[in-house]
Amino acid sequence: MDVTISNWEGIKPDLLQDLECCNFVSFDFELTGLSLTQPPMFYNLDLYYKFHKESVSSFLTIQLGVTTHHYSQKKDKWAANSYNIWMFPISSRKDPKIKNFSCSAFEFLRSHNFDFNKWIDEGISWKRLSEFESGLGNIKKDQKLIEEWAKKEMSLQERAKGPFPQTQNKIRKEQVKQQVLEEYYNVCEQVSEWVDSEGKEFKYNQRSPFARRYWYQKFRKKYPNLLIDTSYENGKHMFCLKKCNEEEMKDHYLQKIQDKIFYQHEQLEITEIFLTIKENKIPIVGHNCWLDLLHLYNTFIDDLPETLKEFKTKVRQNFGPIYDTKAITELSGCEKLNGIGATNTSLSFLYNEVKELKKPQIEISADRYQTSEFCHEAGYDSLMTGVIFLRLSEILLQNEEHDSRDQNNRKRQLNAIGCDQNFVLKSIVNQEFNGKVKMFRCMPNMINLFGQDIEINLDRMFYLYDFNKEWDNNKIFTTFEYQKNIFKINWIDDVSCFIELKHKNRVSDFKKKFVNNKNTRKKKNQEYLMKTYLDYQRQFF
């Protein structure tokens, strides 16, 4: 289902209800770019996080795909409901939302029929939870002031001053332009006539914030018994004067607070989707979703924390279980996937491999997603991700059931969960992969968001580069006079790679013999350049 600003209010109640009662959600983003520069190869997760943190804050999420998955025990079938949500931010003078748009991302999206006019015209806005909670906190403080003010005994003249301390500096007459003064004198005559009339309210369109502030100051002094306010009606800023008694004044300010609270919730818009996921700790599933998770946090929660450690803490506070289908495929190994092609773990390839499998049965509600025509539309990609997750889970569970060592454990587990809709999600197989997310151009190539990560000794790492593109593993082993069991090679491209020594006692000798940190150009007859990983790392940070 395509979700835009035109149909959002109509769809929202059903969508949020759909989320609240689903078993898990699969998701995907379309973005205006991935990274500001080509990411280097990392052997440090903290630096890897720092690199992507800077990129994520520079780009924009423009489409969110959400697919809810429900299990029917009666039908023994899953139902998948997909939503393709267009996103466009609201900018302001204080926050103009200046973001990057990479040409490669633009070309990629255009080649897959992304409608940029629809994005701008029909995209739905959002508000971060941190901004929402901060704004709501300020409103609650005002509400407390108003409630205390409403209880106090005071004259109508004192009551008309309102509940808030007058903190703004007074505007002196010499600061006011002649045009504003002339308009004020003109309005004064109209107000004088209105005060003597039976009219309850006087309104005047005044666009200038400075003029409205000056008028407020002058009319407050001239008419202390009147309630003075501003409003925004039909695209116009109105300066308002009202005749009212004490109770009406109290009701006016209390109603303004309720209006502000309502407006805060209204501004959440599609953040309500994430808020529902967060409050219900709904499991979320992505594919190769490291960047998607960073964007999910940066878009709907707050600025990304400074360190990876802080980010992992925030993830535990704001998310339920997290699964990455790319990580599941690679961690489970080819032999566990019944030949579905674990050597290629791209989203579309995996989906084509599993979509014809019989179990579990999945009923797709969106007719438009019955074919691959909408590949790289966020809604369709989120559907593919969910289908892959269910089919991989079924395969892994079947393999585990055939393993005689786990038969008794499996029976106990089935009895415990009653073979209900949580069969897949509560399985030991899936808990094994909870929080494991695939990393690109990084060693280790997985991160554990809910546990300890693998640590690599960087002293044993060396950067080999600027060699002939005809070189292969054997050439490198023979060049450095080492056997395969001494070090391993991680290729970056045709002319560069990382060498990891397996034994610490070899490092000093290897460094003396082969490393040329000080040289940035090859000498005559020199076939390569090499530096330690730590020196390589310094050129980026």
* Average pLDDT per consecutive 10 residues, the chain (541 residues; last block may be shorter): 96 96 96 88 86 94 97 90 95 82 94 95 96 92 88 82 71 78 92 93 91 88 88 90 90 90 91 96 96 97 96 96 92 61 77 86 85 88 95 79 50 43 50 89 88 81 91 87 70 87 83 74 79 82 63
Given this model, what pLDDT does residue 115 score? 96
Separation of alpha carbons 229 and 160, rounded Å: 11
**Contact present, 127 and 263 (Cβ < 8 Å):** no
Given this model, what pLDDT does residue 505 score? 83
Looking at the structure, give the CATH architecture of the domain made up of residues 458-538: 2-Layer Sandwich (3.30)
In terms of C-beta density within 10 A (0-12 exposed, 13-18 middle, 19 or more buried), how is residue 498 classed?
A: buried
Separation of alpha carbons 360 and 393, rounded Å: 9
H or E element in which residue 440 lies: none
When computed from its CA atoms, the radius of gyration of the chain, rounded to whole angstroms, is 31
Fold agreement (152-253, 458-538): no
Residue 26 dihedral angles phi and psi, to the nearest 5°: -105, 145
Separation of alpha carbons 224 and 167, rounded Å: 18
Residue-wise burial string across 43-55, b where 16 or more C-beta atoms lie within 10 A, e elsewhere: bbbebbbbbbbeb
Separation of alpha carbons 366 and 2, rounded Å: 10
Given this model, what pLDDT does residue 409 score? 54
Given this model, what pLDDT does residue 478 score? 85
Separation of alpha carbons 273 and 515, rounded Å: 53
Which residues face 67 on adjacent strands? 26, 82
Predicted TM-score (pTM) of this structure: 0.81
Tell me, which fold does domain 2-126+270-448 have in CATH?
A: Nucleotidyltransferase; domain 5 (3.30.420)
Q: Please name the residue that has the structure tokens 């695939």.
A: 438
Given this model, what pLDDT does residue 415 score? 44
> Domain residue spans in the chain?
2-126+270-448, 152-253, 458-538
CATH of range 152-253; options 3.40.50.1000, 3.30.1370.50, 3.30.300.30, 2.20.25.10: 3.30.1370.50
